[in-house]
Chains A and B, each alone.
Chain A
């Protein structure tokens, strides 16, 4: 057990801190909205050039080209958290498509897509879920029918975030309706400008449209967009679904929220008494702090497993379930502690933190469902972690 960093890493930490403090004045703020905001793009470029974004992507594709080093990645994340400066862009193109292309893309696909995606010049959306294919993703039916050098696509996708802004989509489509459900799917890239695509915003409980529905009517796309091979899309997608689940439930983000909640409960009063002095609220706060400590320690354990190139076992499998639940509970306590003012929303002089706690409370419930529902997570924990048998398949009705 050794939680210290060697001098080499402490020097690296200082290097990162120096870069961030020297450039802090260039950082975009909440005023700089939009995925292709020039200030955000400039910040991203600066981060890539200094090795704080796209760090391990080869230079030939526009990355920084460093060797993978989990501790250095951790130090970078910690320094962003410490300074509060905006992190590198993180969208589905960068976090899911780029790793997929690096592993399985053709030279042409890599050359065309990776660099502009990393620099925030090309925005992607993910076409996976369908109205009839949620937890059972492999049941998807949106069809790509072969026609010469093209496919013709008909059907629809749902839960497509950033579809409105996206230039391109990476999409799972049924290319062989006669094969077993996992074996007739292809992973295809195409332009969102293609005629026949309609995007409808899907307003969610927060009041915003964080997601969309996308409808395809006779959408003709070139076969060159296929990644890896026809009917091998399930394997391609699985390579990156693991990435998505790892992103949800990050304990450092949870810790930051707990710190915010502690500050809130020290600052705010009710009946002239600090919220933290109310024994019932305080007890709930301490209960959550214990859980945050546990998830943080669990995160350190996972990092060590990754350093040793080992699987993290149960410690890794529980992160999405427990982390998302914990975020939701932290928001719930903030709202309860604020009481009557905890339900104010969107505007007004009594609103706290611009309504962030209510947004989180609702959005975090979405995250408990999305990216593999809590129930699917429990199946995974029980089957892969504890070795319990799968549900027997029912005979076809």
Chain B
């Protein structure tokens, strides 16, 4: 029995953190958020060189063959640095294709196939969105697609809940509060699918878990910043972190987040090992981190006082990353309802 990260896992995360510290400081994130394409491309190229695309692709298909736990560690680091990346879309697709042979996986691992996700409608269809399939051709719209911009292919859910691999059609950016990442509206007009996959609860669970890991990282960054600020900022002749009013806000943030870290590990491990509880655990990890993250996002901002509200410190980029993550692939309420369904707690219809 050992519930801890392995030496390899710690090294993976340390080296990625080291890379991001240099390659994605706040200045760079700011450039990306204000539309500096060269800055985006440089960061994406640097991340590609680390070989992350093949992390969750089996070794037989040219990948590293690592599990969702390793993927969560990577996503946590990306969230900590609020770095935009195609890693989420690539990893979720690799998971969806885990039993699907080698038609696409080698291309995903090599980076020749660049993935985006059009899975929003698995959780919620709004404004007439929804994708239908007729004679292997996709029609309809998907909102808030992830990493569709610059992708060659999408993993797209249709209204039956089945998944389709399809070349990326026209995609229009949808502006959100989070300008570090580009989300899109994609419109299918009879695009032929390249592959059809059955409905698969694990794909949405894995996507949600990775988003939860991203929030874990972003929230940890906000705690670290709040604690550093509270230990340095002086008012009334003392550092504000010595006032219990401020100190307790910091303690509450840490108390909410620390057990969440273990939850992410446990849920990822459960999915990796096929434990039956894994689906519910990953789904609840999403809602749990959404709640903890939201609390930390506002509390860390408050610890920073007026400065937290300014653009100057840039804390708002983390606040907004957490804010978008909360809704992505289903609000906390939606995830909790799905977790009830996955455990057979809903009345048979």
CB under 8 Å from chain B, chain A span 353-397: 375, 377-379, 381-383, 385-392
What interface size band does chain B fall in? 35 or more
Binds A, one of B33-41, B260-268, B308-316: B260-268
A71 touches B284 (CB 8 A): no
- Number of A interface residues, CB 8 Å? 55
- With A71-B1, A294-B259, A314-B254 known as contacts, the answer to whether A277 contacts B291 (CB < 8 A) is no
C-alpha gap A383/B242 in the complex (Å)? 9
Contacting pair A287 B5 (CB below 8 A): no
Cβ contact within 8 Å between A3 and B336: no
B306 → A minimal CB distance (Å):
21
Q: Interface 1/0s, chain A 291-312, versus B by CB < 8 A?
A: 1011111101101110110000
**Are B287 and A298 in contact, CB atoms less than 8 angstroms apart?**
no
Minimum distance in angstroms from A304 CB to a CB of chain B: 5
Given A290-B284, A315-B262; A300-B248 close (CB under 8 Å): no
What's the least CB distance linking B78 to chain A, in Å?
A: 21
**A388 touching B242 in the complex, CB below 8 Å, given contacts A293-B288, A297-B265, A298-B262:** yes
Task: Decide if A1 touches B6 in the complex (CB within 8 Å).
Answer: yes
**A289-B339, A304-B1 known; A276 vs B265 contact (CB < 8 Å):** no
Bound Cα distance A318, B260 (Å): 12
Residues of B within 8 A of A294 (CB): 259-260, 262-263, 288
Rounded to whole angstroms, the CA-CA distance of A63 and B266 in the bound complex is 36
Complexed CA–CA distance, A262 and B345 (Å): 9
Please classify the interface of chain B as helix (H, G, I), strand (E, B), loop, or mixed, using the class held by over half of its residues.
helix
Of the 9-residue stretches A135-143, A157-165, A238-246, A278-286, which lies at the interface with chain B? Answer: A278-286
| Chain A residues, Cβ within 8 Å of B261 | 315
A1-17 residues with Cβ-Cβ distance < 8 A to B are 1-5, 9
- Asked whether, in the complex, the Cβ of B269 is within 8 Å of the Cβ of A3, the reply is yes
Contacting residue for B258 out of A277, A296, A318, A389, CB 8 A: A318
CB distance from A204 to the nearest CB of B (A): 26
Instruction: Name the A residues within 8 Å of B84 (CB-CB).
Output: none
Contacting residue for A274 out of B6, B284, B336, B347, CB 8 A: B347
For residue A266, CB closer than 8 A to chain B, the reply is yes
Question: Closest residue of chain A to B248, judged by CB?
Answer: A378
| B5 cross-chain contacts in A, Cβ below 8 A | 1
- Separation of A5 and B3 alpha carbons in the complex (Å): 12
Instruction: Verify if A322 is at the interface (C-beta below 8 Å from B).
Output: yes
Contact B248 A290 (CB under 8 A): no
The prevalent SS among residues of A at the interface is helix
* A286-B336, A314-B258 as given contacts; A1 in contact with B281, CB under 8 Å: no
Q: In angstroms, how far is the closest chain A Cβ from the Cβ of B333?
A: 6
Interface centre among A1, A74, A315, A390 (most CB of B within 10 A): A1
Besides A315-B261, A391-B244, 19 other A-B contacts (C-beta < 8 A): A71-B1, A276-B345, A277-B347, A282-B345, A283-B337, A287-B287, A290-B336, A293-B284, A293-B288, A298-B258, A298-B259, A298-B263, A303-B1, A321-B255, A382-B247, A386-B250, A387-B227, A389-B231, A392-B242
List residues of chain A with CB under 8 Å of any chain B CB: 1-5, 9, 71, 74, 262, 266, 274, 276-277, 279, 282-283, 285-287, 289-291, 293-298, 300-301, 303-305, 307-308, 314-315, 318, 321-322, 375, 377-379, 381-383, 385-392
Show 5 A/B contacts (Cβ-Cβ < 8 Å), sorted by A. A5-B1, A266-B345, A282-B340, A290-B285, A297-B259
